[in-house]
A and B are shown apart, each in its own frame.
Chain A
Amino acid sequence: MASVTLKNVTKRFDDVVAVNNVNLEIKDKEFLVLVGPSGCGKSTTLRMVAGLEEITEGTIKIGDTVVNDVPPKDRDIAMVFQNYALYPHMDVYNNMAFGLKLRKFPKDEIDRRVKEAAGILGIEQLLDRKPKQLSGGQRQRVALGRAIVREPKVFLMDEPLSNLDAKLRVQMRTELSKLHDRLQTTVIYVTHDQTEAMTMGDRIVVLRDGVIQQVDDPLTLYNKPNNMFVAGFIGSPAMNFLDAKLLKEGDKYYLDGAGAFKIAIPETKVKEVPEIKEYVNKQVVFGIRPEDLTDASLTHEFDITEDNSFTASVEVVEPMGSEIYLYLTIDDHSMIARVDVETKAKVGDNIKLGVDTRKMHVFDPETEEAIF
């Protein structure tokens, strides 16, 4: 078990900067998820920790040791990728053991490790089976077993579940989380799937263009995104962004959507973030998550007034089973609301929507940084 520290880590491929000055402290036994769109540098970061990619600048430490020049085999790490090789002519035991055999581990030690890993993964009864006799989930466990028998200080996983079908992926997510609890070891996990990140990570690192956007626990990331990128990337359906102007009328501050909406910012928010006052008469971006828009005709948790509601036209009604997504427009703005299945909204209706202003966000349109 070990912590992993990245200090000012940069990776350049010729003149392309893939990872830009990344600073990160991953705690011992932590499950840390690197998430971001394709090309954001998450896999490159992982491969630098693994020792597969050389670091252009900066240092990486595993525990107290700087590993910049330590080859992967001596780093006490094990890697799990989405495409793993299970050799069809070897049984499960040998598919888990061959790496240790090739590294010249003593036979007894190999036996102990393979059986222990099989026990942890619940595949003891499969040890003499060949891969073709296994289900997709069982195969995945064998691939994990191969990493576990290395008894690494840190597991590095790069989209290990992305080749599985949706149902199995959900099941394996839970299994991986349980496995982490059992193994009590540090895991760095790369995914492009924000749901996977949210459900598995103790902390999540959101990357974009090689730069860390935010490092936080899942709820903080969701509730207090640092910028529009994080706000839009985390959460599904994504947060609605609406262009607005900040107006001051009397003591009150409003987000004005050029006649389409006029939402008052709660006093408490203004007190918490007085910097908002600097934006008076300036353009801002109003962010609101689909679930924080409510069909005003249904029961709701907060009072709906003129200050926190607007009327929008229903373009599409998408029933999701436990809830309904309404695709809406007002003037040039389009948005999604996640509302209760009780809604009577139909395509073409104009419906009144309440905004839970306690959960509203405002961003600077130039920097895209969150004002709150």
Chain B
Amino acid sequence: MPLTLKDIARMVGVAESTVSRAINNKPGVGEETRRKIMKIVKEYNFKPNQLARGLAKKETRIIALLLSDLATPGYTEIIKSIEEVANRAGYQVILCNTANDIDKEKAYLELVARNRVDGAIIVGGELADKNILNLALNKEGRLVLVNRLAEEVLIPTILVDNAKGGYLATAHLIEQGLSRIAIIMGSIQDFLESEKLNGYKQALKDHNLPLREELIFETDGSRESGYNTFLNLMELDEPPGGFFVTSDLLAVGLIEAIKMGGYFIPDDFAIVSYGESLITSIINPPLTVVAEPLNKLGRLAAEYLLKLINNQSPDRVIRVLEPVLKMRASSNPQIKS
């Protein structure tokens, strides 16, 4: 139960109005009394606005959902699960597409700063910038980050462990009896991509397989790159038998090239892709993927924000979710397409 003015008044042995005057820095309170009151305020992290706001019924019952790029695969599911939890608690959700534009993001964050919404969930993007940090440092700034990192300040965050995803994909291919496994990835400068690579390396290490630099392919992430990478790999004296592809577009290109070469999947080459999408399930053969728990991600983010709005702290400020492997025909001959 959060502390009330009444509680403080009782603890200090003064009237509620005295506590209110002390907190609002108004005259008519003795220095010693003010000191006692402010000590309790500090000890219990009593937020003076909390009561005033409650009385004035200034809650908007609206939360903002800031998306770094609306077109990102998987966002629909995150949006749906956030909305579901919010609606159930009597909140509405407004969608804000920041398009990775810092000024647009700042403008949307103003909604939180100006109490036009009760809080915000920020999904995606890279490093939390000054607008996020400043708002998070303000006690009234109720923010939850999803798949976004903050360097300086601890902000309630839900993340997916991409390294674990890379590990699961690679370990699965190793378990299929493959020892030469290539990774076809986007830019290594992209943090999430580098995390997937770390997982790939760790899985090889844990299974006592050598890391072969010639099997790491950094690309621009396009379908063409998936196609061309296969052609390049075929030039090797000993081509790989398995592929971990870090996006569905790369996987599409790769599959096209394999089929054009007259090879069979998974008999000749096994493939695991990253991220569940419509493409990965309808392509032939259906792709084994590392799927992120998007529903849970959204649900937890909404629950975290509702807790903050109700002046509670989430049990674990940073929550890291593990992706799961969805096994389909592209990596296992036992599963029919």
User: Shortest CB–CB separation between residue B160 and chain A, in angstroms?
Assistant: 9
- Contact at B150–A85, with CB atoms within 8 Å? yes
Which A residues are CB-close (under 8 A) to B137? 43, 47, 52, 81
Cβ of A171 to closest chain B Cβ, rounded Å = 22
**Which residue of A79, A81, A103 contacts B127 across the interface (Cβ within 8 Å)?**
A103
- Proximity string of chain B (274-293) to chain A, C-beta cutoff 8 Å, 1 when within and 0 when not: 00000000000000000000
Nearest CB on A from B181, distance (A): 22
Q: Is B201 engaged at the interface, CB distance under 8 Å to the other chain?
A: no
Q: Mark B16-36, 1 if CB is under 8 A from A, else 0.
A: 000000000000000000000
Q: Are B152 and A81 in touch, CB under 8 angstroms? A: yes
Task: Give the shortest distance, in Å, between B130 (CB) and chain A (any CB).
Answer: 5
Of the candidates A79, A87, A89, A94, the one having the most CB atoms from chain B within 10 angstroms of its own CB is A89
1/0 contact string of A82-98 vs chain B (CB within 8 Å): 01110111000010001
Q: Which of A71, A83, A98 contacts B149 (CB 8 A)?
A: A98
Q: Are B164 and A89 in contact (CB under 8 A)?
A: yes
* Pair A38/B127 contact, Cβ less than 8 Å: no
Interface residues of A in 146-192 (CB under 8 A from B): 146-147
Interface string of B73-117 (1 = CB under 8 A from A): 000000000000000000000000000000000000000000000
Count how many chain B residues have C-beta atoms less than 8 Å from C-beta atoms of the other chain: 29
Chain B positions within 8 Å of A43 at CB level: 137
Q: A47-B137, A81-B137 are in contact. Are A98 and B152 (CB under 8 A)?
A: no
A102 touches B42 (CB 8 A): no
Q: Which residue of chain A is the closest to B156 with respect to CB atoms? A: A85
Closest to A94 in B: B198
| B127 close to A85 (CB less than 8 A) | no
Name B320's closest neighbour in chain A (CB-CB). A89
State whether the Cβ of A210 lies closer than 8 Å to any Cβ in chain B: no
Contact A72-B130, Cβ < 8 Å, known A80-B152, A85-B154, A87-B159 = yes
Decide yes or no whether B303 CB sits under 8 A from chain A.
no
Q: Which residues of A contact B153 (CB under 8 A)?
A: 81, 83-85
A79 CB contacts on chain B under 8 angstroms:
152
Interface residues of A in 60-85 (CB under 8 A from B): 71-73, 79-81, 83-85
Whole-angstrom distance from the CB of A133 to the nearest CB of chain B?
A: 15
- CB proximity of B202 to chain A, nearest CB, Å: 11
Partner of A101, one of B42, B155, B191: B191
Which residues of A lie under 8 Å from residue B163 when comparing CB positions? 89
B38, B126, B159, B320: the one contacting A102 at CB < 8 Å is B126
Find chain B residues with CB under 8 A from A107 CB: 188
A47 to B138, CA, bound (A): 11
List B contacts of A72 (CB < 8 A): 129-130
- The chain A residue with its CB closest to the CB of B321 is A89
- 18 more A-B residue pairs beyond the given contacts A84-B154, A87-B320, with a C-beta to C-beta distance below 8 A: A51-B130, A72-B130, A73-B130, A81-B154, A85-B155, A85-B317, A87-B149, A87-B318, A88-B318, A89-B161, A89-B163, A89-B164, A98-B191, A99-B127, A99-B149, A101-B189, A107-B188, A147-B152
Annotate B104-148 by CB proximity to A: 1 below 8 A, 0 otherwise.
Answer: 000000000000000000000011011001100100000000000
